[in-house]
Structure 1
Amino acid sequence: MSLDNPHSMFDVKGKVALITGASGAFGAVAARCLSGAGCKVVLAAGNADAMAEVAATCTNEVHQIKGRPDNEVACEAMVEEAAKVFGALDILVVASGMNKVAMIEDMEPSTFERVMDANVTQSWLLARAASKQMKAQGNGGKIVFVSSARGLLGHPAGYTAYCASKAAVDGITKALGCELGPTGITVNAIAPTVFRSPLTAWMFEDTEKARAVREGFLSRVPKGRLGEPEDLAGPLLFLSSAASDFYTGHILYADGGYTAG
């Protein structure tokens, strides 16, 4: 890595990346971004058809695993398969997770537990499996979680489970950043606010309801717009490459300044 050739700091050609939740909005961005940058990507998702559509957008070697990281065995198996297929595991992107919106008096405890399991426990299990593999390889590695601005800020409309889960992801990021730092493995999180995806497409529409919600939200965003998928790709490439070797335990807010004001 040289300042005379700064682009080399972002070179991930030949690296192996495991992306969970690969059929989702962020997982699709991660797959296209890292594949386009030269990574060999291993996609994991429960929806095989949607994952195949994402795989078709990848421009480099790709391997697909049908399954969700919903227990220790599944997480270990995903990491083992990624390392076996491509010979190593250099990057883990945890884009799997879920949200259930309900006011606290209407939310069943079992629903709260499912959100916490999907967003927190599964992230921890995947990091546990990946860090063991990366330590065994002895070359360091990159672990990237997907958090949210809601890990820092509350929300008035039934987000107790989601906000709590993302705050926990932030805590895991910081703790593992400290714990794994001496091994050369960095652990960071990208925390977006609202960005364009199949779930939020209605907010970009030219309807009275969409305009009202959008305008209320944009009054808090200094950049004056909602996020686009490309806004997540740059931070991901940074956190997946040697450019971020001195960065660990960080929460990188991809939010147009939303959390700054």
Structure 2
Amino acid sequence: MSNAWKNPLGLFDVSGKVALITGASGAFGAVAARALAGAGCKLVLAAANEKALGEVAAECEKLGADVVTKAVRPTDETVCDGLADLAVERFGSLDILVVASGMNKVAKIDTLTPKDFDGVMEANVTQSWLLTRAATKKMKQQPTGGKIVLVSSARGLLGHPAGYTAYCASKAAVDGITKALGCELGEENITVNAIAPTVFRSPLTAWMFEEDDTAKGFRKGFIARVPKGRLGEPEDLIGPLLFLVSHASDFYTGHILYADGGYTAG
């Protein structure tokens, strides 16, 4: 009998695994850092905001995690390779990559500059590709392979009328990278998947959860399209993440997991 039948929850055990998380001081990155710290991972956390990064690292250490930080943006090959090297040098392997770094520039197409468009694509697409490339080189050398999780969005599937040209295009490209590398790396024991949230609570979306008329008006209109009838909370991202970085998802790759309360289903 398979051990999975005797201990199904063991499929989700990631204790002792080494995880590299970029954008670790941001909304999703901080959720990922805390969740994997609580699950027993060793962490390499990277973000440009050194102060905020230190605060997240301190929280993870309180949860019992071994943590090393690097205050950098994953903007080029040297930086990305250096982060992968740091994980192996410090902890001996690189088992999990979570790419939570990225940005948005909201503007209608006639006012969005080519520089702004390129900036969003570079942050969301190129950096995801460079980090995945760096991690893949390490994971291919390990008999255990690895787990790669990119951060997409419901906007990779759906358009938006409020000036999301660059963002929607970038997240659709992340979905394409996820699917292509899911195919390419399938026989390497490396899975590549993406989590695609809709609106969830974060410092950037805090106004949407307020009780003023503007926020209430937004929520009423948005929630009308969400079958679960609410906006997302950080905790809603923990389960999908643990699934995608653990053995529970060994047969899943090239998959976009929509953490959206059913928003993209209707």
Q: TM-score range by the shorter chain?
A: over 0.9
Deviations 1:21-53 (A, max 9, x none): 000000000000001000001100010100011
SS in 2 for 1:226: coil
Separation in 2, partners of 1:155, 1:138: 43
Superposition deviation, residue 130 in structure 1: 0.2
- Distance (whole Å) between structure 2 residues aligned to residue 73 and residue 108 of structure 1: 28
Q: Are 1:64 and 2:69 counterparts?
A: yes
Residue ranges of structure 2 left out of the alignment (5+ in a row): none
Partner of 1:10: 12
Residue of structure 2 in register with 1:155 after alignment: 160
Deviation at 1:137?
A: 1.7
Tell me which of 246, 249, 252 is aligned to 1:241: 246
Q: Give CA deviations for 1:98-157 in whole Å, capped at 9, x if unaligned.
A: 000000000000100000000000000000010000001232100000000000000000
In structure 2, how many angstroms separate the alpha carbons of the residues matched to 1:86 and 1:15? 9
Give 2:46's aligned residue: 44
Q: Distance in 1 between matches of 2:67 and 2:81?
A: 19
Give the alignment partner of residue 184 of structure 1, picking from 189, 195, 198: 189
SS in 1 for 2:6: coil
Residue number in structure 2 paired with 1:259 = 264
What is the alpha-carbon distance in structure 1 between the residues aligned to residue 250 and residue 5 of structure 2?
15
Identical-residue share of aligned pairs (%): 72
Shift in Å, 1:171 = 0.2
Q: CA offset at residue 4 of structure 1?
A: 1.6
Aligned length in residues: 261
| Number of the residue aligned with 1:224 | 229
Instruction: Please list, as runs of the form range in 1=range in 2, the aligned pairs for 1:64-143 lying within 5 A after superposition.
Output: 64-143=69-148
Q: SS of 2:185's equivalent?
A: helix
Letter in 1 for 2:16: G
1:44-68 alpha-carbon deviations (Å, 9 max, x no partner) = 0010100011111112111101101
CA RMSD of aligned residues (A): 0.6
Paired residue secondary structure (1:106):
coil
Q: Which amino acid aligns with 1:163?
A: C
Specify the alignment match of 2:37 in structure 1: 35
Kindly report structure 1 stretches of 4+ aligned residues shifted beyond 2 Å: none
Give ranges in structure 1 of 5+ residues lacking alignment.
none
* Letter of the 1:70 counterpart: T
TM-score (normalizing by structure 2): 0.97
Cα distance, 1:3 vs structure 2: 1.5
Structure 1, residues 201-223: CA drift from partner, whole Å, max 9, x if none?
00000000000011110010000
Partner of 2:173: 168
Amino acid at match of 1:191: A
Query: What is the CA-CA distance between 1:260 and the residue it aligns to?
Result: 0.1
Give the C-alpha shift of residue 2 in structure 1: 1.4
Distance 1:216 1:2 in 2: 44
Per-residue Cα deviation, 1:150-169 (whole angstroms, up to 9, x for no partner): 00000000000000000000
